[in-house]
Amino acid sequence: MEIIQYREEHNIFRHSLRKFLEKEVIPHVDEWEEAGIVPRSAWKKMGEHGFLCMDVPEEYGGAGADFLFSVIVNEEMTRTNHSGLAAGLHSDVVVPYITTFGSEEQKRRYLPGCVSGDIITAIAMTEPNTGSDLAAIKTSAVEEGGHIIINGQKTFISNGINCDLLVLAARDPKVENPYNAIDLYLVEAVTPGFEKGRLIKKVGWHSQDTAELYFTDCRVPRSSRLGEKGTGFMKLMEKLQQERLVCAIAAVAAGERMLDITIKYCKERSAFGRPLTKFQHVQFEIVEMATEVKLGRTFLDKLIVDHMEGKNIVVDVSMAKYWTTDMACRVADRCVQLHGGYGYCEEYPIARAWRDVRVMRIFAGTNEIMKNIAARFMGL
């Protein structure tokens, strides 16, 4: 019996999305990888076809769909073998902050555009000297009358160039306790004092517009704050469970895809007069990878069900995030090896997959931090 019970509507949705991606996304991936960014028109098409922000309620233009629709989008996007059209980041990481914590005015102002693809979002937490330690951020938010004055710098911000709306983490320098000093603010890209910096060149994720962001006396209305003052850190902690689950979804889907293309290659490629799959070493390599991928899928599917039931699975998700992303990297390396020299050539999809999967062990909290979180909850 399958752990996740997909209904017919889920299967129809997956089929529709896969056809859309085969027509509107996959043929353009190489072009986007070369450009270092995905055109806004691609985001717009995703929105027009109903593939963004699946859980946004109908009164704000969304489908009000369950989380399995988001799972499907994240899996199918991963199988396009590129990262630039980061629908999962937009739909399942950033926009939920607005859906959950936004005021009625904020929801009506922004959510319809997020669903349609007219508004592309990003979340700004990481700073040049602050990675996974969110309590140490330096970007300041000082109250001045009815406004908040923001000063600071963020880096490694995915969707940083394309973004129209930013969920920004900043701190009140007057509050000593770092956990009470942090708040989240909605900052529009057109706000004076908000400047998008350079497009960061990376080892992988070439089509993902990762950027530095600068704030110099950036003035936003007090009403741009998400929720009550001093609650930003707790909001981040609450939403990181889903963010890390989304990472695990992508990691397992990547592992499955890399294994599929490698099995196909090994069946078609011959050495010493027989297919590679007829060599015992290759068979053992494939079986071992398949076992790890299946273990990851089983663990992941159980967590998806628990998450949908509203359970607190912070520890398990932290374990899953580190283990599945480590697993995906192991699979990527072994798949490249089985491809031989061709695995190191750009014309073979495993090369891009190998490059792209490496960063999964770093973002959304490094895997070392994931282990630290689990250890702390285990009382170690």
pLDDT tens string, the chain, 380 residues long: the values are 689 999 999 999 999 999 999 999 999 999 999 999 999 999 999 999 999 999 999 999 999 999 999 999 999 999 999 999 999 999 999 999 999 999 999 999 999 999 999 999 999 999 998 766 777 899 999 999 999 999 999 999 999 999 999 999 999 999 989 899 999 999 999 999 999 999 999 999 999 999 999 999 999 999 999 999 999 999 998 999 999 999 999 999 999 999 999 999 999 999 999 999 999 999 999 999 999 999 999 999 999 999 999 999 999 999 999 999 999 999 999 999 999 999 999 999 999 999 999 999 999 999 999 999 999 998 98
CATH superfamily for domain 233-377: Butyryl-CoA Dehydrogenase, subunit A, domain 3 (1.20.140.10)
Distance of CA 132 to the CA centre of its chain: 15
Residues of the chain with CATH 1.20.140.10: 233-377
**Catalytic residue positions?**
243
Question: Do 263 and 301 form a contact (C-beta atoms < 8 A)?
Answer: no
SS3 content of the chain, % helix, strand, coil (to 5): 55, 15, 30
123-228, CATH topology level: Butyryl-CoA Dehydrogenase, subunit A; domain 2 (2.40.110)
Query: Measuring CA to CA, how many Å separate 306 from each of 1, 63, 291?
Result: 17, 22, 23
- Output DSSP code: residue 101: H
Tokens 């270092």, residue located: 36
Q: Tell me whether strands 165-171 and 121-124 are parallel, antiparallel or unpaired.
A: parallel
End-to-end CA, the chain: 36
Q: Which CATH architecture has domain 8-119?
A: Orthogonal Bundle (1.10)
Alpha helices of the chain — where are they, by DSSP H?
A: 8-24, 29-35, 40-48, 67-78, 87-88, 95-101, 104-116, 178-181, 232-268, 280-308, 314-339, 349-357, 367-377
Residues of the chain with CATH 1.10.540.10: 8-119
Q: At what angle do helices 349-357 and 314-339 cross, to 10 degrees?
A: 150
Other residues' Cβ atoms within 10 Å of the Cβ of residue 189:
18
Sign of CA dihedral 248, 251, 252, 253: positive
Tokens 């031989």, residue located: 340
As given in the structure block, the two tokens for residue 368 are 């070392």
Tokens 């990691």, residue located: 251
Q: What is the pLDDT of residue 130?
A: 78
Question: Do 295 and 326 form a contact (C-beta atoms < 8 A)?
Answer: no
Query: Measuring CA to CA, how many Å separate 16 from each of 19, 86, 118, 141, 250?
Result: 5, 19, 22, 44, 19
Residues of the chain with CATH 2.40.110.10: 123-228
Question: Do 258 and 250 form a contact (C-beta atoms < 8 A)?
Answer: no
> What is the rounded CA–CA span in Å between residue 255 and residue 276?
20
Q: What is the pLDDT of residue 129?
A: 81
Question: Do 226 and 101 form a contact (C-beta atoms < 8 A)?
Answer: yes
> What is the rounded CA–CA span in Å between residue 221 and residue 152?
17
- Output DSSP code: residue 127: B
Q: What is the pLDDT of residue 131?
A: 67
Reduced to 3 states (helix: H, G, I; strand: E, B; else coil), residue 48 is helix
Question: Do 240 and 312 form a contact (C-beta atoms < 8 A)?
Answer: no
